[in-house]
Each structure stands twice: as structure tokens, then as C-alpha cells.
Amino acid sequence: GESVGLHLPTLSVQEGDNSIINCAYSNSASDYFIWYKQESGKGPQFIIDIRSNMDKRQGQRVTVLLNKTVKHLSLQIAATQPGDSAVYFCAETYSGSARQLTFGSGTQLTVLP
């Protein structure tokens, strides 16, 4: 069936650099996308979301970009810090509802000192 997946399982960046985490989705009916961060031993933590009527949304040090043409989502983290080390998941749903999120496989971000 259709699913959300991630391009890279691991990503290492130097502290202070910018990080870009990518996500491909295949369900063209999805119209709402969310990024979650999961630290070791903890539950997923909401980072930022974007609806399909937008192509960019910014938060504090994070930006999400949505390209509906190629069904691609990315999360940019500015000035990456050691505390950003975690697994990052994209998730999708449709009709603006959070009732049933479909999560991607996750990318492990490691911030190097």
C-alpha cells in the first residue's frame, strides 16, 4: 500500500551547521504533514506541521518545505545543536485530521562536536 518513507536512515552533521532531513510520501490524498523528533527512550515530540496549501513554514530554528509536485517534504534545522541528535520522523494524514497519522521510517540525526 502507499506509505511515507525517508531517503536516508542516518545523517551526521557538525555542530553549528544546518541539517536537512528529507521525506518522500506516496499518498497523493495526503494534505497535512508533520515532523516529529524522537529522542532515545522517549515518545515522539511534535516539531512543526504544514498543510498542503502551503509550501513553506518556519518555526524556531526549523523550516519545513513541501513540494507537492514530487511528493517531497524536508525539514531544515538551522545551527544544529547537540540536543538536536534524535530520530526524525515525517508523518502524513489527510483531511486535516490527526486521527490517523502514517509515520515514515525515521532518520537518525547525529550532531558531531
Partner 1 sequence: EPEVTQTPSHQVTQMGQEVILRCVPISNHLYFYWYRQILGQKVEFLVSFYNNEISEKSEIFDDQFSVERPDGSNFTLKIRSTKLEDSAMYFCASSRETDTGELFFGEGSRLTVL
* Min dist. Cβ of residue 48 to partner 1 (A): 9
Interface with partner 1 (CB under 8 A), residue from 11, 21, 23, 34: 34
**C-alpha cell recorded at residue 62:** 526549523
Contact between 104 and partner 1 per CB under 8 A = yes
Given a contact cutoff of 8 angstroms between Cβ atoms, the answer to whether 111 and 13 are in contact is yes
Strand positions, DSSP E, the chain: 4-6, 10-14, 19-25, 32-38, 45-51, 56-58, 62-67, 72-77, 86-93, 102-103, 107-112
SS3 75: strand
Given a contact cutoff of 8 angstroms between Cβ atoms, the answer to whether 75 and 91 are in contact is no
Interface with partner 1 (CB under 8 A), residue from 53, 60, 69, 100: 100
* Min dist. Cβ of residue 88 to partner 1 (A): 12
Range in contact with partner 1 (rule: CB under 8 A) among 10-18, 28-36, 57-65, 75-83:
28-36
Range in contact with partner 1 (rule: CB under 8 A) among 19-27, 40-48, 59-67, 70-78:
40-48
Looking at residue 46, its amino acid is F
Interface with partner 1 (CB under 8 A), residue from 53, 70, 96, 113: 96
Q: Which stretches of the chain bind partner 1, using CB under 8 A?
A: 32-34, 41-46, 49, 89, 91, 93, 96-106
